[in-house]
Amino acid sequence: MRGLAALLLMGFALSGCGVVGRTSVKTVQLAMQGKPDVQPTAADVAANRYPQIKVTGPRGGAVLVLGNLDGDRQAWYSNDRSVVFLEDGLVVGTHGGIPELQGMRIEGQNPFQALHQIEGPITIQRQYDVMPGYRFGMTVSGTLERLGTENVEILNRTRSLLHVRERLEGQDWKRDNHYWVDPANGFIWKSVQAIAPDASLEIIQLKPYLPDLNR
């Protein structure tokens, strides 16, 4: 993960014209290290032509833009070179900030590719690599369960979304993830996801990457 991030960031630096170099978004480290929240408006988001997400931690929030695609893996960047990696709407890594999720893997079938289709509770197996502390290969079980439909407001627009809860249990883990999902195509508009046993991020899609909406 560190190597991938370093290569991507070097490419932006050499080109001089990457997404990060042309925007003034605030860093995801603000969300993870106690700085104030940000409240983007619909006009703010529309004024930037790039896909955008808002990432919020326990002490604040930040806006990031989509800077790179590597297959299904998306790298969302801040202007100070912090990165959040998403795949099928899941946080699979972060670069910069403390704690740092160096990797997350789902073993076996991945229900997040069609989360709107789950019926009864199902259990999945995850593995996490977290720093500091060299906490690699942490085995965690997640139990997914539908909680019903809820109205969620994003940028002054209300969406009727399926709420799915995931209970995480494992090595020092006992947390809940939450996903608010488009019932038509499974797109995750909003989520709260753990990146370590004691830390979670809230992610809201402000301006999604269009192919995600059309899958």
Q: Which pLDDT tens digit goes with each residue over 24-43?
A: 334 454 444 445 678 889 99
Domain boundaries, the chain: 2-213
Q: How far apart are CA 184 and CA 172, in angstroms?
A: 35
Domain 2-213 has CATH 2.40.360.10: yes
Supply the pTM of this predicted model: 0.84
**pLDDT at residue 24 in the model:** 36
Q: Which pLDDT tens digit goes with each residue over 78-121?
A: 766 779 999 999 999 999 888 999 999 999 889 998 999 998 89
Give CA angle at 189 (33, 200), nearest 5°.
Answer: 30
Task: Name the band, by pLDDT with cuts 50, 70 and 90, for residue 22.
Answer: very low
pLDDT cut 70: percent of the chain above it: 81
CB 164 within 8 A of CB 145: yes
CB 90 within 8 A of CB 99: no
**pLDDT at residue 203 in the model:** 97
Q: What is the secondary structure of 159-171 as a DSSP string?
A: EEEEEEEEEEEET
